[in-house]
């Protein structure tokens, strides 16, 4: 007997619209349900994480999640929530993006075929590639009227007098193509429910209507709210752009910092949406946060839970250790474990000087490293005075005037961090 999936979404604030009888249907029987992901990039971002988590809850509740990668619909672009037409991608880029997304999704859902409700992954290009326009018009198009399609919010918005540009026929057909996906999965896999963001309601219900008219069947729909920050700005965006799930696009350190820096109001919302903590655990964390908000219990918990979910325990530990460096709570060993990307992010904007590798291999005199070879300090005399005052550190470790920089000091085999006092940093970049 499945657990109450809808109730789980409800208390977490993940329920926006739901078709009548959906909750009772999902309680009475296990079902297959899907969410589609259009391959606009070779990585998903944290906006997509909401949909992934919904599929994880769906699987945990005993149902079978289906992940649909839109290899076909990705060629067109979904107009929902958009004011402009999306740039079309070529086949090669789409295939690359599909593979990247597929790899990512496999780390969140159980695809093990021995499991009773193993997740399934499908690509709509597989059933659309051989479908002709004539076949589509005859088999699908005749079942949905233009009046029905025009009434959808995503269409009305783009055709209103306020819209800067109209809507191409290509985008107008998107809801029919998505409806066709639902119909196909209903017929071939017995999939009876589609889920997605609230901007997808029109597209999803086109699918349920198509199933009703063409097959005489009953299908269901659930949407979740679009996540926004408390100040109304778009969730998942930073000054540098999207926060990606791929660590080569957004490092685990930056990913961890994003969640750590959320506002108190957002944190109260995110702790329910982005973690799998129970209602009681969330309640206790909220109480602790209200008692001592300066300790940022919610933010730390969210950052820990989401980073572990996306990047694993090891990368979480590295991100936490890197975060401590900025607060002076680090050791030489900690800083020398940093990878290149994280090191450069931590010390972004710090001045650098290049040093030949052979100089370091032979042992670089600390006075030369501080002044004549780099210009960090103005003179050898100033360097000696700073060393005498015990004000100089190499890789966060205080050193004396006899110190020599060697290959053992290298961070990511290329950098050495010099420091005078608490906040005056300088980087030696080792070049061949």
Model confidence pLDDT, tens digit, residues 259-291: 999 999 999 999 999 999 999 999 999 999 999
For the chain, domains (ranges, CATH) are: 5-224 (3.40.50.620), 237-325 (1.10.240.10), 338-431 (3.10.290.10)
**pLDDT band at residue 423, thresholds of 50, 70 and 90?**
confident
Q: What angle do CA 261, 40, 234 make, to 5 degrees?
A: 30
- C-alpha Rg value of the chain to the nearest Å: 27
**For 151-155, 182-186, 371-375, which range has the lowest pLDDT when averaged over its residues?**
151-155
- Amino acid 162: pLDDT: 63
* pLDDT mean over 348-371: 92
**For 4-13, 230-239, 266-275, 315-324, which range has the lowest pLDDT when averaged over its residues?**
230-239
Q: Which residue blocks in 78-124 are alpha helix, DSSP H?
A: 91-105
3 state SS of 269: helix
Q: Give the list of residues 6+ apart from residue 237 with CB closer than 8 angstroms, or none.
A: 243
Phi-psi region of 13 (alpha: psi -120 to 50; beta: other; left: phi over 0): left
CB 202 within 8 A of CB 153: yes
**pLDDT band at residue 232, thresholds of 50, 70 and 90?**
confident
Closest CA to 198 of 15, 21, 74: 15
- Amino acid 83: pLDDT: 45
Q: What is the dihedral of CA 105, 108, 109, 114, to 10 degrees?
A: 110
Question: What are phi and psi for residue 364, nearest 5 degrees?
Answer: -95, 120
> What's the mean per-residue pLDDT of the chain?
88
Identify which has the larger pLDDT, 277 or 39. 277
* pLDDT mean over 310-336: 87
**pLDDT band at residue 242, thresholds of 50, 70 and 90?**
confident
**For 16-30, 123-137, 162-176, 315-329, which range has the lowest pLDDT when averaged over its residues?**
162-176
Q: How far apart are CA 250 and CA 252, in angstroms?
A: 7
User: Any bridge partners for residue 232, and if so which?
Assistant: none
Terminal Cα distance for the chain, rounded: 64
* pLDDT mean over 354-374: 91
- Max mean pLDDT range (232-236, 326-330, 334-338, 391-395): 391-395
Task: Catalogue the E-assigned strands of 340-379.
Answer: 352-356, 364-365
Q: Give the list of residues 6+ apart from residue 41 with CB closer than 8 angstroms, or none.
A: 97, 100, 244
What percent of the chain is modeled with pLDDT above 90? 62
Q: How far apart are CA 387 and CA 64, in angstroms?
A: 65
CB 417 within 8 A of CB 335: yes
318: number of Cβ within 10 Å? 21
Identify which has the larger pLDDT, 67 or 85. 67
* pLDDT mean over 31-52: 91
Q: How far apart are CA 274 and CA 279, in angstroms?
A: 13
Q: How far apart are CA 415 and CA 410, in angstroms?
A: 5
* pLDDT mean over 171-175: 78
Q: Could you give the maximum distance between any two Cα atoms of the chain, in Å?
A: 89
**For 119-133, 164-178, 236-250, which range has the lowest pLDDT when averaged over its residues?**
164-178
Q: Give the list of residues 6+ apart from residue 422 with CB closer than 8 angstroms, or none.
A: 328
Q: How far apart are CA 224 and CA 204, in angstroms?
A: 12
What percent of the chain is modeled with pLDDT above 70? 94
Burial of 204 from C-beta contacts in 10 A (0-12 / 13-18 / 19+):
buried
- Max mean pLDDT range (11-25, 88-102, 161-175): 11-25
DSSP 280: H
Model confidence pLDDT, tens digit, residues 11-21: 999 999 999 99
- Amino acid 287: pLDDT: 95
- For the entire predicted model, the pTM comes to 0.85
Residue showing tokens 């010099």: 418
């Amino acid at each position: 007997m499945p657990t109450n999936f809808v109730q789980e979404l409800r208390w977490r604030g993940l329920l926006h619209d739901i078709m009548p009888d959906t909750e009772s249907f999902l309680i009475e029987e296990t079902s297959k349900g899907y969410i589609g992901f259009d391959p606009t990039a070779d990585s998903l971002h944290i906006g997509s994480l909401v949909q992934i988590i919904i599929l994880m809850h769906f699987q945990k509740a005993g149902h079978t999640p289906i992940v649909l990668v839109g290899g076909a619909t990705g060629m067109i672009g979904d107009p929902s929530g958009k004011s402009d037409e999306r740039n079309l991608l070529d086949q090669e880029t789409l295939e690359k993006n599909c593979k990247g997304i597929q790899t990512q999704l496999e780390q969140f859902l159980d695809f093990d075929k021995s499991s009773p409700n193993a997740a399934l992954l499908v690509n709509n290009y597989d059933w659309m590639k051989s479908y002709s326009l004539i076949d589509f018009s005859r088999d699908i198009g005749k079942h949905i009227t233009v009046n029905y399609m025009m009434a959808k919010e995503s269409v009305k918005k783009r055709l209103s007098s306020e819209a800067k540009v109209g809507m191409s026929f290509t985008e107008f057909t998107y809801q029919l193509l998505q409806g066709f996906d639902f119909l196909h999965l209903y017929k071939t896999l017995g999939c009876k429910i589609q889920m997605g963001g609230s901007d997808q309601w029109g597209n999803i219900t086109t699918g349920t209507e198509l199933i009703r008219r063409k097959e005489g069947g009953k299908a269901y729909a659930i949407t979740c709210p679009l996540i926004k920050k408390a100040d109304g700005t778009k969730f998942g965006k930073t000054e540098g752009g999207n926060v990606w799930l791929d660590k080569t696009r957004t490092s685990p350190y930056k990913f961890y910092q994003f969640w750590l820096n959320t506002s108190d109001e957002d944190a109260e919302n995110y702790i329910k949406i982005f973690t799998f903590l129970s209602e009681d655990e969330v309640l206790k964390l909220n109480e602790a946060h209200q008692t001592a908000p300066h300790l940022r219990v919610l933010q730390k918990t969210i950052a820990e839970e989401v980073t572990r979910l996306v990047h694993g325990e090891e990368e979480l530990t590295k991100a936490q250790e890197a975060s401590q460096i900025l607060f002076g709570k680090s050791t030489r060993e900690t800083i020398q474990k940093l990878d290149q990307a994280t090191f450069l992010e931590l010390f972004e904007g710090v001045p650098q000087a290049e040093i030949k590798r052979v100089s370091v291999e032979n042992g670089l005199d600390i006075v030369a490293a501080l002044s004549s070879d780099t210009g960090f300090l103005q003179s050898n005399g100033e360097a000696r005075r700073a060393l005498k005052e015990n004000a100089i550190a190499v890789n966060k470790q205080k050193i004396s005037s006899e110190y020599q920089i060697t290959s053992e000091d290298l961070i990511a085999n290329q950098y050495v961090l010099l420091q005078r006092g608490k906040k005056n940093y300088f980087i030696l970049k080792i070049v061949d």
